[in-house]
Amino acid sequence: MPDLIKVAKFGGTSMADLTAMKRCASIVSSDPDKKVIVVSATSGTTNLLTELCTEESVETRVEIVSQIKEKHLAICKQFGNPKTLLDEVTALLSELEAIASRKQIMTKMLRDEILSFGERLSSRIFSEVLKVDSGDDIQWLDARTVIKTDNHYGSAEPDIDEIGKASSEILQPLLKDARVVTQGFIGSDSKGTTTTLGRGGSDYSAALFAEAVDADVLEIWTDVTAIYTTDPRIAPDARPITEISFDEAAELSVFGAKVLHPATVVPAIRKNIRVYVGSSIHPEKPGTWIVRDTKEKPVIRAISLRRRQTLVKVHSLDMLHRYGFLAKLFQVLGDHKISVDLVTTSEVSVALTLDSDINNPGQPMLGEEVLEELQKFSEVEIIKDLSLVALVGNNLNQTAGLSGPIFGSLLDVNIHLICHGASSYNLCFLVAEEDAENVVQVLHKQFIK
Ligand code: ADP
Ligand code: ASP
Ligand code: MG
């Protein structure tokens, strides 16, 4: 039987320190089919780099770089400071320090360049750790030569054709005799400038690599043993899911389950690549398979929670018996590249939700300028600090008697908006941030058997 091709991705906690990296190395070494290894930055590093980008004072920026330096040099030291590795890591750290020390305007382009150092550092170190552990030929690849994207810095869109071409020219030849270690999260635009795919984007990178090399399996190794019926940090009685469909997994991640970047399943669906989610800490424990068709199709499979939601209510009496209001509203939002998640309308008002995660620069906030434009033809009310709770499963919009028990169990909770019907895979609603965890716990107890 010919070899399978597996792409394995290891997240931030899996790269946390030398012990964690060694655990990941042994997962790779024990399976010759794992040909492409995609890694995240060491845990906390992208957060530090993000902080650096928001910092005005050069002094503080340099102080942040020294924290990053300390962390990575400590791993190298523990690994015995092999000269070539130390040279590479020191050169990267000096480059980062030089950028951080310069007084310059923090553009989105520069921000992506700075964020890229996390993955560039971790992948250099992991590549050496894996070389020693496996004894195999391990090639380090700069992901920016393959993951070609547009120039929407902060949340760049991949160019699938260009990735395919670059993969045939650069990646595939390496795979003939070696395994490849590369970075998640980063890519480059047509001019070769560094881009990033958005926070948590390493899962997506791995899926793009899997698509490009026609992989049989994409493995996401993380700090939980599987995808759970809800975030185990919120509900201790959450259970691991054995098998889930691409569509359900997509909904779950779009609605906040951080375990998977929302776009991860898109390339997997295009090439029908099975995805496995497992724990790099306990690789022996059963994980989750994400597949096209599942044996079981429960109405409610899992519950997710997406924090930091903003509800925008746009009210206009002009809307009564008129047409064109919605078009006008969405034109303004579209012009400002504001992506709207959920929408409900009545005759004279529209309520919509926006993601307001400051860590996600791809999503602009509803700034003064947009607000002024909207206020020219409507009244705008903004409610912040909300969370979106989503029940994810199958045929939710065709199941009778569902909403009664759901909302019946939440009698004390103020529900700001409900979306039901558009998708057969979810039913979701907005609640105050402070109620959200309790709502998830109550619903999990009641509806997840
Ligand atoms: P990595 O660094 O490996 O990419 P992440 O922190 O991005 O890991 O994602 C793993 C985390 O996702 C878990 O620690 C868990 O708290 C969170 N999570 C949220 N929802 C779920 C869920 N339904 N199942 C499992 N984990 C979840
Ligand atoms: N390092 C990046 C982040 O923390 C990408 C990733 O880990 O998936 O967002
Ligand atoms: Mg992640």
Ligand of minimum distance to the alpha carbon of 185: 2
Q: Ramachandran region of residue 8, left (φ > 0), alpha (ψ -120 to 50) or beta?
A: beta
d(CA 192, CA 166): 13
Nearest CA to ligand 1 atom 1: 11
Q: In the chain, which residues fall in CATH 3.30.2130.10?
A: 301-447
Question: How many Cα neighbours within 13 Å face the side chain of 70?
Answer: 8
What are the φ/ψ torsions at residue 421 (nearest 5 degrees)?
Answer: 115, -40
In this structure, are residues 268 and 275 in contact, taking their beta carbons and an 8 Å threshold?
Answer: yes
For residue 180, give every residue at least 6 positions away whose Cβ sits within 8 Å of its Cβ, in sequence order, or none. 35, 36, 37, 138, 139, 140, 141, 171, 174
Burial of 272 from C-beta contacts in 10 A (0-12 / 13-18 / 19+): exposed
For residue 179, give every residue at least 6 positions away whose Cβ sits within 8 Å of its Cβ, in sequence order, or none. 28, 34, 35, 36, 37, 130, 134, 136, 137, 138, 139
Q: Give the closest residue to 124 by CA, choosing from 78, 75, 158, 187.
A: 75
Local confidence pLDDT in tens for the 449 residues of the chain: 558 999 999 999 999 999 999 999 999 999 999 999 999 999 999 999 999 999 999 999 999 999 999 999 999 999 999 999 999 999 999 999 999 999 888 999 999 999 999 999 999 999 999 999 999 999 999 999 999 999 999 999 999 999 999 999 999 999 999 999 999 999 999 999 999 999 999 999 999 999 999 999 999 999 999 999 999 999 999 999 999 999 999 999 999 999 999 999 999 999 999 999 999 999 999 999 999 999 999 999 999 999 999 999 999 877 666 778 888 899 999 888 888 889 998 878 899 998 876 555 445 567 888 899 999 989 999 999 999 999 999 999 888 888 899 999 998 999 999 998 888 999 999 999 999 999 999 999 999 97
Q: Which two tokens stand for residue 331?
A: 């034109």
d(CA 187, CA 163): 10
Cα dist. 101→97, 98, 179, 424 in Å?
6, 5, 36, 52
Burial of 31 from C-beta contacts in 10 A (0-12 / 13-18 / 19+): middle
Give the right CATH number for 301-447 from 3.10.20.30, 3.40.50.300, 3.90.550.10, 3.30.2130.10: 3.30.2130.10
Question: How many Cα neighbours within 13 Å face the side chain of 222?
Answer: 20
Calculate how far, in angstroms, residue 258's C-alpha sits from the geometric centre of ligand 3: 6
Give the right CATH number for 6-223 from 1.10.10.60, 3.10.110.10, 3.30.470.10, 3.40.1160.10: 3.40.1160.10
| Count of beta carbons in the 10 Å neighbourhood of residue 297 | 12
| CA torsion, ordered 86, 87, 92, 93, to nearest 10 deg | 60
d(CA 222, CA 24): 10
Q: Identify the residues whose C-beta falls under 6 Å from ligand 2.
A: 11-12, 40-41, 46, 118, 184-185, 199-202
Sign for the CA dihedral angle at 221, 226, 46, 333 comes to positive
- Give me the pLDDT at residue 320, please: 66
Nearest CA to ligand 2 atom 8: 200
Q: Identify the residues whose C-beta falls under 6 Å from ligand 1.
A: 11-14, 40, 200, 222-224, 227-228, 230-233, 257-259, 302
Q: In the chain, which residues fall in CATH 3.40.1160.10?
A: 6-223
Ligand 1: which of 259, 290, 307 to mutate, judged by most atoms within 8 Å of the beta carbon?
Answer: 259
Prediction pTM value? 0.94
Q: Give the closest residue to 34 by CA, choosing from 11, 2, 4.
A: 4
Q: Which atom of ligand 1 is nearest to the CA of 10?
A: 3
Calculate how far, in angstroms, residue 259's C-alpha sits from the geometric centre of ligand 3: 6
pLDDT digit string (tens) for 205-254? 999 999 999 999 999 999 999 999 999 999 999 999 999 999 999 999 99
